[in-house]
Amino acid sequence: MKLTSLTISLLLGLSLLACSEASGQSTNATSIPTIQVDPRLVGIKLAMDTLSFTTAAAIRARIDQQPEAFFRLLDAARQQALAADGLLRLVDKQHILPADYIPTDLVNLAEYQFDLARNPMLLRQAAMEDLLAMVAAARAKGISLLISSSFRSYEYQSEVYTRHVNTMGLAGANQVSARPGHSQHQLGTAIDFGSITDAFASTAAGQWLVAEAWRFGFSLSYPRGLTAITGYNWESWHYRYLGRAACQLEHDYFDGIQQQLLEFLAAYFTD
């Protein structure tokens, strides 16, 4: 939001001047009072006004209570995202990736000490440090995090989506599978863990991840009961790497809902 304190002060000053002249008061004897408004908070309001969150008022109240803490996290999250080239890019049913989009920093997970369902599997280098830390923390608790799916190309996602359409019909497929170009897996920062079934939620790995993954920068993309917000059925196994600052922001201010955070960021950083 390209707003500045000077712009807002000038606008308020002109408004007060107009009121003063309309009432016949002299503006020469005393200086015109100005009100300093934080342009960042104005930007927050403008961004939130474009979104349809039922929790928007509660989110704004949290930000108003701790604005400086919020903006520190916001800046840290954005800086990490810029350094990692689109780490917080909004990809969903309405926002698409180019068919030829392939991250330039993909690495083979088989080169690391991970538990893999198959080989090869690729993930962005930008997520590796925190993934290694998360896997190590889980292992310290006696928990294995099996990685079952990671980067998918546009072409591969097209095959996956077509299979779902053939077996479930179009409406059913759209609840459980992303159309090609609309999948977070194409970003190279999404991981499916474990069995890729609802049963994963009740496993030790599933329970550990839902409680701890955000501390390592991984966010559950499609939580239970939020299909109206995310557009997809609950997927207890699907996590996307956003970075630690962004996940802290999501946890502290956005009800732990990734979709709300990413839609807000897309609206706030319109430049």
The 3-class secondary structure across the chain, one letter per residue, is: CCCCHHHHHHHHHHHHHHHHHHCCCCCCCCCCCCCCCCHHHHHHHHHHHCCCCCCHHHHHHHHHHCHHHHHHHHHHHHHHHHHCCCCCCCCCCCCCCCCCCCCCCEEEHHHCCCEECCCCCEEEHHHHHHHHHHHHHHHHCCCCCEEEECCCCHHHHHHHHHHHHHHHHHHHHHHHCCCCCCCHHHHCCEEEECCCCHHHHHCHHHHHHHHHHHHHCEEEEECCCCHHHHCCCCEEEEEEECCHHHHHHHHHHCCCCHHHHHHHHHHHCCC
| Residues 7, 75 share a domain | no
| Residues 234, 199 share a domain | yes
| Residues 172, 124 share a domain | yes
Give the chain's domain count: 3
Grouped pLDDT means (10 residues each) for the chain, 271 residues: 42 41 50 77 91 89 94 97 94 98 98 96 98 99 98 98 97 97 98 98 99 99 97 98 98 97 93 51
| Residues 164, 139 share a domain | yes
Residue-wise pLDDT tens digits, 210-255: 999 999 999 999 999 999 999 999 999 999 999 999 999 999 999 9
| Residues 111, 216 share a domain | yes
| Residues 266, 152 share a domain | no
Q: Which distant-in-sequence residues (6+ apart) come within 8 Å of 25 by Cβ? A: none
> What local confidence, expressed as pLDDT, does residue 52 receive?
84
> What local confidence, expressed as pLDDT, does residue 14 receive?
36
| Residues 255, 151 share a domain | no
Range of the domain at 155: 93-241
| Residues 233, 101 share a domain | yes
| Residues 220, 146 share a domain | yes
**What is the token pair recorded at 18?**
């107009």
**CATH number of the domain within which 166 lies:** 3.30.1380.10
| Residues 209, 108 share a domain | yes
> What local confidence, expressed as pLDDT, does residue 26 receive?
47
The model scores a pTM over 0.85: yes
